[in-house]
Amino acid sequence: AQSVTQLDSQVPVFEEAPVELRCNYSSSVSVYLFWYVQYPNQGLQLLLKYLSGSTLVKGINGFEAEFNKSQTSFHLRKPSVHISDTAEYFCAVFTGGGNKLTFGTGTQLKVEL
Amino acid sequence: DADVTQTPRNRITKTGKRIMLECSQTKGHDRMYWYRQDPGLGLRLIYYSFDVKDINKGEISDGYSVSRQAQAKFSLSLESAIPNQTALYFCATSHPTRSPNVLTFGAGSRLTVL
């Protein structure tokens, strides 16, 4: 069975500082990996995805993530955050056999002045 | 109009009442899903449907039922609501071949069971 672990439930950071949100997954087969963002009082929207190819993927709003197969990780990074990045971020994994996405428990990013 | 529309957006009800949450989409996607979001637990899959005649249980289907009335409509029912079904419910859709498993979410339906 596949699972996703987001170790940090909350990450406070000052504006213009870099941030990394951690995601680890477990799966014995090939995976597709995703990061979704949920702004306050809204549904989730796709931030970026890894399906194949280059292990460094770029998403919207200046975010990027790196797929590391040996460490089974897919950490999300941004070199300089903005107040508007305050949101909850969800990592998700899909394996073809499961036919559905499994989400992590989410990381609340709070950007402060 | 939103691609995925959920109604109602907010609902307060009492224990034992029957509740239906509705979802409609204009994406033309075959696949539709119902998720439940609880603080600290992330999103958990309740039911999913890959076409009108296909309904599948997710990881937490007990106490819920669904109906796929048409390609564009997928409703979630709580036959007899209980307080631990208080949560934020999301409907989502996806296309089976284009951008596989990229979900488009509705804005959510917040349900409170007293």
Handedness of CA B7, B9, B10, B16 (dihedral sign): positive
Tens of pLDDT, residue by residue over B11-51, are 999 999 999 999 999 999 999 999 999 988 899 999 999 99
**Of A25-29, A77-81, B18-22, B74-78, minimum mean pLDDT range:** A25-29
pLDDT of residue A96 exceeding 70: no
Residue A34 with chain B: CB contacts under 8 Å: 101-102
Distance between CA atoms of B95 and B86, rounded to whole angstroms?
A: 29
Distance between CA atoms of B107 and B6, rounded to whole angstroms?
A: 7
Q: With an 8 Å Cβ cutoff, are A100 and B48 in contact?
A: yes
Out of A43, A49, A104, closest to residue B106 by CB: A43
Judged by DSSP in three states, A25 sits in: strand
Tens of pLDDT, residue by residue over A44-73, are 999 999 988 899 999 999 999 999 999 999
Beta bridge partners, B111, equal B11, B87
Q: With an 8 Å Cβ cutoff, are B103 and A90 in contact?
A: no
**Which residue do the tokens 């959510």 mark?**
B108
CA distance B44 to chain A (A): 7
Which candidate, A89, A98, A26, places its Cα nearest to that of A59? A89
Residues within 8 A of A (CB atoms), B 10-49 only: 33, 35, 40-45, 48
Judged by DSSP in three states, A60 sits in: helix
Q: With an 8 Å Cβ cutoff, are A43 and B45 in contact?
A: no
pLDDT of residue A25 exceeding 70: yes
| Secondary structure string (H, E, C) spanning chain B | CCCEEEECCEEEECCCCCEEEEEEECCCCCEEEEEEEECCCEEEEEEEEEECCEEEECCCCCCCEEEEEECCEEEEEECCCCHHHCEEEEEEEECCCCCCCCCEECCCEEEEEC
CA distance B106 to chain A (A): 6
Which candidate, A14, A11, A32, places its Cα nearest to that of A89? A11
The pairing of beta strand A64-68 with beta strand B54-57:
unpaired
Cβ–Cβ contact B102 with A under 8 A: yes
